[in-house]
Amino acid sequence: MSSRVFSKIVDSAASVPPLQVQTVLPLVLMLVLWITFSSFGLSKDVVFVLVLVIGQSFILWRNLPKAAFDLGKIEGNKSRLLVWPVVALVTLAAVQLAIASPLFSQRLLSGGCLFVLIVMVLGVRRENLVMKRVAEGIRSTTPMSSPVSLLRINAVFAAAFLCINEMLIATGDLAVWMTCVAVFFLILRTLYWFVVLLVLQSEDAPTARAA
Domain edge (last residue) among 100, 123, 154: 100
For 50-59, b/e burial (b = at least 16 CB within 10 A) is bbbbbbbeee
Listed residues 100, 124, 144: the one ending a domain: 100
Residue 139: pLDDT band by 50, 70, 90 thresholds? Answer: very low
pLDDT confidence tier of residue 140, bands split at 50, 70 and 90: very low
User: Does 110 lie in the same domain as 182?
Assistant: yes
For residue 209, CA distances in Å to 9, 27, 138, 185, 202 come to 19, 43, 20, 37, 12
**Measured between alpha carbons, how far is 117 from 114 in angstroms, rounded to an integer?**
5
Residue 209 binned pLDDT confidence (cut-offs 50, 70, 90) = very low
Answer yes or no: do 48 and 107 share one domain.
no
Task: Give the domain-ending residue among 75, 100, 125.
Answer: 100
Same domain, 209 and 129: yes
**Taking CA 180 as the corner, what is the angle to CA 174 and CA 181, rounded to the nearest 5 degrees?**
90
Q: What is the pLDDT of residue 152?
A: 87
Strands in the chain per DSSP E: none
Q: Which domain holds residue 66?
A: 17-100
- Judgement on whether residues 62 and 110 belong to the same structural domain of the protein: no
